[in-house]
């Protein structure tokens, strides 16, 4: 498509947008009384209006039924988490029996490590990416120490080549083959939080399995953003947060995936709990832990219903639309935003370097832009003008045009504000 940097062209794209009605499903913050252009859905998604109703339903049931809400609420609390299995399976490319929700992201990664990181004297190393999100780094370091090992001896980071911003899939695979029989686990972010790069999860998973390792993925920036095929890729496990692209609210409950090939493996360690115990026998209060079938067997504590309610509201919206429709708009609006940034750079004679891959197969709803020659003053200007963006040192702004609630006209308007900011700061 031949893009144009005009309001009329952007409006014509909006007129043909099959998802345009969903912008009305969200609450937008305002700056100076005006609705913002919201580019930080990769950090915290906007609040779906229907989320409030779902939370209110739980509160009303609590008020009116108290303990009886566990069984007699419209959505009974005791199996509330089971409502996620079908819609989440479509979002991440899994079987319903392979997914559920519990805890938060880093807690779930720790829970998965209990089952899937079992180092031996010969197979103990972990491969991750250089500059992984700090929470993943801390999780891996403390897990390794828990096993009495030295992180410096265990954790192998795949580095970017000199002068390059993104990892190369072939370098990850080469490192997997190099570590070989010593490799116990590959655990990498499916999308890099800083650059927005999407890795070749299928090829990397195959490479890990070829040397006998377990392969897991942190999908914090991937779930609800890109099309995934976790079951077909034969991924061992994966975890993701729900408050970014899936708009479930700050710190909301996390999703997780365990491939069905592991469901009946009684040799796997688990940290059991009452909600992971056989559902049909749960109230018999038996002394021995017998896990539920499928991913539900990794549950532990009762899952917070108030934390799940906004997530369920959002997940049902995803189910209405389907990931293919979201990805279709995502590709178009991200490409248009790239065009706007590049046109603005030309018009202002400024070096705005997009470090996110240009190939649509290697990116989702994010463009990371280095503001060469521009200080943080430009970021503050954008924020003051109602453009909510994310700043990362030393001089990167991350722009996430979420297809559920961003418009093409907003991309055009952002370009105009960005141009003025460059000219005046």
CATH 3.40.640.10 fits 53-321, yes or no: yes
Report the C-alpha gap between 218 and 222 in whole angstroms: 8
Report the C-alpha gap between 117 and 23 in whole angstroms: 42
Mean pLDDT across 187-215: 97
Residue 132 confidence (pLDDT): 84
User: Would the pLDDT of 1 be above 90?
Assistant: no
| Residue 15: partners with Cβ closer than 8 Å, 6 or more residues away | none
Cβ-contact 418, 347 below 8 angstroms? no
Residue 280 confidence (pLDDT): 84
Mean pLDDT of the chain: 96
Tell me: the pLDDT tens digits for 21-45? 999 999 999 999 999 999 999 999 9
Residue 236 confidence (pLDDT): 98
End-to-end CA distance of the chain: 33
> Omega of the bond prior to 394 within 30 degrees of 0, cis?
yes
User: Would the pLDDT of 266 be above 90?
Assistant: no
Residue 128 confidence (pLDDT): 97
Q: How far is CA 319 from CA 40, 244, 278, 324, 357, in A?
A: 23, 17, 28, 11, 28
User: Would the pLDDT of 318 be above 90?
Assistant: yes
Between residues 282 and 350, the one the model is more confident about: 350
Mean pLDDT across 187-194: 96
Report the C-alpha gap between 194 and 284 in whole angstroms: 49
Q: Which residue has the tokens 């290697």?
A: 362
| H or E stretch covering 398 | strand 396-399
Beta-sheet pairing, 99-102 with 396-399: unpaired
In the chain, CATH 3.90.1150.10 sits at 7-35+323-424
Tell me: the pLDDT tens digits for 351-364? 999 999 999 999 99
The model's confidence at residue 175, banded by pLDDT at 50, 70 and 90, is very high
Between residues 414 and 134, the one the model is more confident about: 414
Mean pLDDT across 106-112: 97
> What percentage of the chain exceeds 90 in pLDDT?
90
User: Would the pLDDT of 382 be above 90?
Assistant: yes
Rg for the chain (alpha carbons), in Å? 23
User: Would the pLDDT of 283 be above 90?
Assistant: no
Residue 222 confidence (pLDDT): 98
Mean pLDDT across 309-336: 97
| H or E stretch covering 328 | helix 323-348
> What percentage of the chain exceeds 70 in pLDDT?
100
User: Would the pLDDT of 373 be above 90?
Assistant: no
Neighbours of 29 (CB within 10 A): 11
SS (H, E, C) 13-57: HHHCCCCHHHHHHEECCEECCEECEECECCCCCCEEHHHHHHHHH
Alpha helix segments (H runs only) across 349-391: 376-384
Arch. (CATH architecture) of 7-35+323-424: Alpha-Beta Complex (3.90)
In the chain, CATH 3.40.640.10 sits at 53-321
The model's confidence at residue 279, banded by pLDDT at 50, 70 and 90, is confident
Residue 256 phi, psi (nearest 5):
-150, 160
Residue 154 confidence (pLDDT): 98
Residue 330 confidence (pLDDT): 98
Residue 86 confidence (pLDDT): 97
User: Would the pLDDT of 274 be above 90?
Assistant: no
Mean pLDDT across 200-210: 98
User: Would the pLDDT of 412 be above 90?
Assistant: yes
């Amino acid at each position: 498509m031949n893009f144009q940097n005009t309001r009329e062209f952007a409006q014509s794209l909006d007129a043909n947008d099959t998802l345009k009605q969903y912008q009305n499903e969200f609450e937008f913050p305002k700056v100076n009384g005006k609705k913002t252009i919201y580019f930080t859905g990769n950090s915290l998604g906007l609040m779906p209006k229907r989320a409030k109703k779902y939370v209110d339903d739980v509160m009303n049931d609590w008020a009116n039924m108290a303990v009886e809400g566990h069984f007699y609420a419209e959505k009974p609390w005791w199996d509330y988490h089971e409502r996620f299995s079908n819609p989440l399976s479509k979002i991440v490319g899994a079987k319903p029996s392979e997914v559920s929700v519990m805890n938060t992201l880093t807690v779930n990664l720790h829970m998965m490590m209990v089952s899937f990181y079992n180092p031996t004297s010969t197979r103990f190393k972990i491969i991750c990416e250089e500059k992984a999100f700090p929470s993943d780094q801390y999780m891996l370091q403390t897990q390794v120490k828990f096993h009495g090992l030295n992180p410096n001896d265990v954790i192998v980071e795949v580095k970017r080549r000199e002068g390059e911003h993104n990892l190369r899939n072939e370098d990850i695979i080469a490192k997997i083959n190099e570590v070989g029989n010593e490799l116990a686990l590959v655990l990498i972010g499916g999308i890099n939080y800083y650059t927005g790069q999407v890795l070749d999860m299928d090829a990397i998973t195959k490479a890990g399995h070829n040397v006998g390792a377990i392969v897991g993925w942190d999908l914090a920036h991937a779930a609800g953003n890109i099309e995934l095929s976790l079951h077909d890729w034969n991924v061992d496990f994966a975890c993701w947060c729900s408050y970014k692209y899936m708009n479930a609210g700050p710190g909301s409950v996390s999703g997780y995936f365990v491939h069905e090939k592991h469901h009946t493996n009684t040799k796997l360690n688990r940290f059991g709990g009452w909600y992971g115990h056989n559902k049909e026998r749960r109230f018999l209060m038996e002394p021995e832990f017998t896990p539920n079938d499928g991913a539900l067997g990794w549950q532990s504590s009762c899952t917070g219903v108030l934390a799940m309610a906004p997530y369920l509201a959002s997940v049902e919206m995803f189910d209405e639309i389907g990931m293919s429709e979201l990805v279709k708009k995502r590709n178009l609006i991200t490409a248009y935003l790239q065009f706007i940034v590049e046109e603005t750079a030309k018009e202002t004679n400024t070096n705005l370097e997009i470090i996110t891959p240009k190939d649509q197969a290697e990116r989702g709803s994010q463009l990371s832009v280095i503001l060469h020659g521009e200080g943080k003053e430009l970021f503050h200007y954008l924020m003051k003008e109602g453009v909510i963006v994310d700043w990362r040192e030393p001089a990167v702004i991350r722009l996430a045009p979420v297809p559920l609630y961003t418009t093409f006209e907003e991309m055009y308007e952002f370009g105009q504000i960005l141009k003025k900011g460059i000219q005046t700061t």
